[in-house]
Amino acid sequence: MSNLAPQVIFIGLGVIAVVSALLVVVGRNLFHAAMFLGAYMLSIAGFYFLLDADLVGIMQVFVYVGGVIVMLLFGVMLTAQMTNVRMVSAVKQRGGTVLSVIVLVALLASIFKKTAFVISQATPAQNAISLVGKLFMTDYVLPFEVVSVLLLAALIGAIVVAREEGRPQ
């Protein structure tokens, strides 16, 4: 039982992830595509929870499902002409796309089958959040601070780009 349950959940999540990701790409309706993208992001969060990575899972839900998808839907719905756009992808791209996807999947599959990746022997941390917080303030303090500079730069950049039309020059 204890071994079977994670297996079943994993396969279930995997099927949801692959099917919804495919529907994002082949779907013709932009709104539906955004919803399927949300489903895909949620199933990825499920993987993180399955791996005992609670914090990463929560962040995945917060940032991607709560932030990115909602913003995407706002963008789709506030742009009047876009709500019911039926996208037509060029036929000439289809063959190449399918081929490169098959090659990539085959390559990655063979890699993951053959390679012995390093697996940590440590038991999963019980209070991951406080542990991560401590690491941010000690071992990883420099990347943590540089990320905050990056966010500041992104914020300024977003304002500069967004203000573009309002300010005549």
Partner 1 sequence: MEWLQQVNWFVLAPELIIFSFAIIVLVGELFLSANAKRSLGVVTLIGLIASLASVAGIWNIETTQFNGMFSVDLTANILKAILLVTTSLMVLGALKSRFSMGEGEFFSLILFSVLGTMFMASSADLIMLFIALELTVLPAYVLTAGRRSARSSEAALKYFLLGIVASVILLYGMTLLFGLTGQTNFIAIAKELAKQKIDATLAVAMLMIIVGLGFKVAAVPFHFWAPDVYEGSPVPVATYLAAGPKAGGFAAIIHLFPVALASVKPAWAMVFAALAVLSMTVGNFVALAQNQIRRLLGYSAIAHTGYLLIGLAVADQIGYSSMIFYFFVYSLAALGAFLVVLATTERGIGESVTDFAGLHKRAPMVAFAMAVFLFSLVGLPPLAGFMGKLFLFSAAVKSNLIWLAVVAVLNSVVSFGYYVTVIRQMYLAPPVTDKAMPVSAPLYLSIMLIVAAIIVLGVYPTAFLSIINL
By beta-carbon proximity to partner 1, the closer residue of 80 and 149 is 149
**Of 126-155, which residues contact partner 1 (CB under 8 A)?**
138-143, 146-147, 149-150, 152-154
By beta-carbon proximity to partner 1, the closer residue of 2 and 168 is 168
Among 3, 7, 120, 126, binds partner 1 (CB under 8 A): 120
Q: Compute the distance between CA of residue 14 and CA of residue 44 in angstroms, rounded to an integer.
A: 9
- Told to check if 160 binds partner 1 by CB under 8 A, we report yes
What sign does the CA torsion over 32, 37, 38, 43 have?
Answer: positive
Q: Minimum Å distance from CB 5 to partner 1?
A: 26
Q: Minimum Å distance from CB 142 to partner 1?
A: 4
Q: Minimum Å distance from CB 2 to partner 1?
A: 26
Total chain residues near partner 1 (CB under 8 A):
27
Q: Minimum Å distance from CB 136 to partner 1?
A: 12
- Give residues in contact with partner 1 (CB under 8 A): 107, 110-111, 114-115, 117-118, 120, 138-143, 146-147, 149-150, 152-154, 156-157, 160-161, 164, 169
